[in-house]
């Protein structure tokens, strides 16, 4: 039995309504129906690919976006970007390079993996959870290497290669007043060999912490004073511009007990560095190494906007 205009309109309404509500599993079903009943409509295929991207269903996302490109009356950058993201996730470098070339992006010549310098950006990890943000070095338009030491609870590591979305969701201002875009991480493209350790210390001054961080750097360890660097901001600020009410948030009183995040290949590397650092007024209270999974995505939260 053929689908009537009224039935098709109802499917259309439910498809977009469920997507807007973050109900991706249900939206998938409705957009599949739309594509089946109206296979000639480019936007239905694009939306099917967009839903699949946010579900990390990469093969569906790639094929749907490629079909949208075929059907579109004119060039649409969003179709090509989402196809390139899916192709990158699948290590399909030929397709990714073709999509980036169509967008006129400066991709190095070659046939394999893209490795270039696309500058520093900020990545929001686990946008569907509590959304920690970290600095990262972009190596292509949608991949970046994490430079900070993320909290172990995030499931991410310093040195992870992140596959991130193409559209920025907010911005930050660095110490030089430069605005840096924030991109949502989609998935871990490659796992870092480094593990995350939390080192609880007690010391008397910023010089003591600086000496520890310098020693870590000398031993090729990534380290951060989480007590100093961690900043909690509201959701509106995270997805927009940081509000004035978050400035000057730190206490003027020195906290002698510090939480230091260190990324290292082994506990032995850290212990060697800490033994050099310990001394008068410098004490290591505890070293913790914890592995957590990346929090699972759940429908009902529109984290990609």
Q: Are residues 217 and 275 in the same domain?
A: yes
Please enumerate in sequence order all residues whose Cβ is within 8 A of that of 154, keeping only pairs 6 or more positions apart, or say none. Answer: 125, 126, 132, 292, 294
Of 72, 230, 62, the closest CA to residue 149 belongs to 230
**Helix, strand, or coil here: 189?**
strand
Q: Are residues 177 and 249 in the same domain?
A: no
238 contacts 133 by C-beta, under 8 angstroms = yes
Q: What mean pLDDT comes out for the span 240-267?
A: 73
Residue 217 resides in a domain = yes
Residue 108 resides in a domain = no
240 contacts 173 by C-beta, under 8 angstroms = no
Q: What mean pLDDT comes out for the span 270-289?
A: 95
Q: How far apart are CA 115 and CA 189, in angstroms?
A: 14
Place of tokens 């590397």: 269
208 contacts 282 by C-beta, under 8 angstroms = yes
pTM: 0.89
72 contacts 40 by C-beta, under 8 angstroms = no
Q: Are residues 91 and 131 in the same domain?
A: no
DSSP β-bridge partners for residue 135: 122
Q: Which domain holds residue 232?
A: 195-289
For the cut 90, the answer to whether the pLDDT of residue 9 exceeds it is: yes
| Lowest mean per-residue pLDDT among 28-32, 171-175, 180-184, 282-286 | 171-175
Domain boundary among 52, 73, 102: 102
Residue 36 resides in a domain = yes
Of 169, 85, 74, 256, the closest CA to residue 64 belongs to 85
Q: Are residues 91 and 66 in the same domain?
A: yes
Q: Are residues 9 and 89 in the same domain?
A: yes
CATH number at residue 199: 3.30.70.260
Q: Are residues 261 and 208 in the same domain?
A: yes
Residue 305 resides in a domain = no
Q: Are residues 20 and 94 in the same domain?
A: yes
pLDDT in tens, 32-81: 999 999 999 999 999 999 999 999 999 999 999 999 999 999 999 999 99
Of 214, 191, 211, 215, the closest CA to residue 269 belongs to 215
Neighbours of 112 (CB within 10 A): 9
For the chain, the domain total comes to 3
Residue 263 resides in a domain = yes
Residue 235 resides in a domain = yes
Of 151, 120, 127, the closest CA to residue 238 belongs to 127
CATH number at residue 82: 1.25.40.10
Residue 207 resides in a domain = yes
Q: Are residues 169 and 202 in the same domain?
A: no
Q: How far apart are CA 2 and CA 88, in angstroms?
A: 39
pLDDT in tens, 78-113: 999 999 999 999 999 999 999 999 999 999 999 999
For the cut 70, the answer to whether the pLDDT of residue 31 exceeds it is: yes
Residue 300 resides in a domain = no
Instruction: Give me the chain's average pLDDT, please.
Output: 91
pLDDT in tens, 258-272: 999 999 999 999 999
Place of tokens 């579900």: 55
192 contacts 137 by C-beta, under 8 angstroms = no
Residues constituting the chain: 305
Return the percentage of the chain with pLDDT > 90, whole number. Answer: 84
220 contacts 202 by C-beta, under 8 angstroms = no
Predicted confidence band of residue 247 (pLDDT cuts 50, 70, 90): very low
**Helix, strand, or coil here: 48?**
helix
């Amino acid at each position: 039995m053929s689908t009537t205009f009224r039935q098709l309109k109802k499917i259309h309404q439910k498809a977009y309504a469920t997507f807007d509500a973050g109900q991706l599993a249900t939206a998938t079903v409705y957009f599949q129906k739309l594509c089946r009943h109206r296979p000639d409509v480019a936007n239905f295929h694009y939306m099917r690919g967009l839903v699949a991207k946010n579900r990390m269903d990469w093969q569906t996302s790639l094929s749907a976006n490629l079909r949208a490109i075929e059907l579109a009356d004119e060039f649409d950058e969003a179709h090509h970007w989402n196809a390139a993201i899916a192709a990158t996730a699948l290590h399909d470098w030929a397709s990714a390079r073709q999509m980036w070339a169509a967008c006129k992006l400066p991709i190095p010549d070659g046939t394999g993996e893209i490795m270039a310098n696309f500058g520093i950006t900020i990545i929001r990890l686990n946008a569907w959870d509590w959304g920690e943000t970290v600095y990262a070095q972009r190596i292509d338009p949608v991949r970046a290497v994490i430079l900070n030491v993320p909290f172990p609870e995030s499931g991410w590591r310093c040195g992870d290669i992140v596959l991130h979305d193409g559209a920025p969701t907010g911005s930050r201002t660095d110490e030089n007043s430069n605005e840096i875009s924030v991109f949502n991480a989609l998935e871990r493209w490659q796992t870092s060999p480094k593990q995350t350790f939390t080192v609880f210390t007690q010391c008397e001054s910023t010089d003591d912490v600086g000496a520890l961080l310098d020693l870590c750097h000398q031993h090729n360890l990534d380290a951060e004073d989480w007590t100093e660097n961690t900043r909690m901001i509201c959701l509106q600020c995270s997805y927009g511009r940081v509000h004035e009410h978050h400035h000057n948030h730190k206490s003027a009183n020195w906290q002698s007990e510090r939480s230091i995040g260190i990324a290292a290949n082994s506990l032995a590397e850290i212990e060697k560095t800490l033994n050099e650092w310990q001394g008068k007024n410098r004490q290591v209270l505890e070293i913790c190494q914890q592995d957590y999974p990346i929090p699972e995505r759940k429908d009902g939260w529109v984290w990609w906007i």
